[in-house]
Structure 1
């Protein structure tokens, strides 16, 4: 009798476990597994963490000041025989963009920059025109620019920037060329670095656009604050318009 009761209880327990297993399997079939949640994130250009980058482009440089004004006066007296032109040059450098919130960043940099100016002239006397005498003088100045810029994002990607810049002179040369009858008569380079200040200070500003892929463009202006002549015999200040392409990573 006891054996029959024990076997009956074991059978009932087996049926109970089997029922729960069947119900659980049916529940699993009816409710498909939920897919793992996915997340997307988007952030403005100033909130993506510190970024480093490279930049390269073109400078269009000139000099201004009392010395240049004297030259302009001489140009007027020479009836346009002398002209002053902006000098093209190369610019390349590195930078780091450090975010300071959703719309602001600080960007220190380091770059090689070619500056200076160019002068052209002819003999302004009618009786000498037949020799076609021409004179060309070029101030070729190379600097290591060290800007510290503040950037403000107007919209995602589009920004304006401004800040101070120190420039250490790497080389300073003056090239003088003269020709007559279409042939070169004189061509010489003079080292003028020792006559110029080693460090030039400027205020820079401009605007740019940075894409999400890392590529960007910018354009700006350097306004020199220090006279280049270290002996204070004349005033001449660097003025530079620059445009560049950059890549941030």
Structure 2
């Protein structure tokens, strides 16, 4: 009974000191496939997030649109081939603030493929049949929060699912640089 009362008290204390933030985040991304010699594809990502927790530890689910893909050269002509994939990413991050304004974060991420566009001279393809329609992975990164609700973060997405791209075992790898703004803050 003492343990139950202690847990109830601890949960009440955390809930009463919890902070909540709702905001928007957008930025640039540099995406590629693992285990390939392709060039990185520059893209955009943007979406919303909701943070709930204390000053030291918080949980942040979010939803964002993300462009991924790669660039390569066609052999033997050397023509540029650009492969673009549009995803909806749903990360659930755990943030740990170790200094005022600085935090590290990590967590799982589920992604769903929305569309595909392969551009090469004389041929554009949009069929998504050649790649798996979802990706399960993780996110790690570091963030900085500033007064007035402004925040920045650098993150790395590690896809863990085999995308089966033209029957090849490849995974998404994305480096993201983001700027965010807290629309709503409760302290």
TM range (shorter): 0.7 to 0.9
Q: Which of 189, 210, 226 is the equivalent residue of 2:145?
A: 210
Q: Which has the bigger relative contact order, CA under 8 A and spacing at least 6?
A: 2
Structure with the higher helix share, 1 or 2? 1
Which residue of the other structure, out of 24, 47, 54, is the alignment partner of 1:54? 24
* Aligned mates of 1:174, 1:122 — CA distance in 2: 16
Q: Structure 1: any 5+ residue segments left out of the alignment?
A: 1-46, 73-83, 124-132, 178-185
| Equivalent residue number for residue 64 of structure 2 | 111
- Greater per-residue strand proportion: 2
The answer to whether the 8 A contact 2:63-2:89 is kept is yes
Where 1:227 maps in the other structure, the secondary structure is: coil
2:129 pairs with 1:194: yes
1:91 is aligned to 2:45 = yes
Secondary structure of 2:66's aligned partner: strand
The TM-score with structure 1 as length reference comes to: 0.63
**Residue equivalent to 1:228:** 163
| 1:153 alignment partner in structure 2 | 97
- In the alignment, is the contact (CA less than 8 A) between 2:52 and 2:58 conserved in 1? yes
Asked if structure 1 preserves the Cα contact closer than 8 Å seen for 2:19 and 2:55, the reply is no
Instruction: Tell me the residue number matched to 2:115.
Output: 171
Q: What do residues 80-139 of structure 1 show as CA deviations (whole Å, max 9, x unaligned)? A: xxxx3100000001000011x34000000000000000002564xxxxxxxxx5311111
For 1:239, the equivalent position in structure 2 comes to 173
TM-score by length of 2: 0.83
Distance in 1 (alpha carbons) for counterparts of 2:75 and 2:110: 37
Give the CA RMSD over aligned residues.
1.7
Unaligned runs of 5+ in 2: 1-16
Matches within 5 A, 1:66-77: 68=36, 72=37
CA distance in 2, matches of 1:159, 1:102: 10
Choose 1 or 2 for highest CA Rg: 1
Give per-residue Cα distances to partners, 1:4-39, cap 9 Å, x unaligned: xxxxxxxxxxxxxxxxxxxxxxxxxxxxxxxxxxxx
Aligned residue pair count = 167
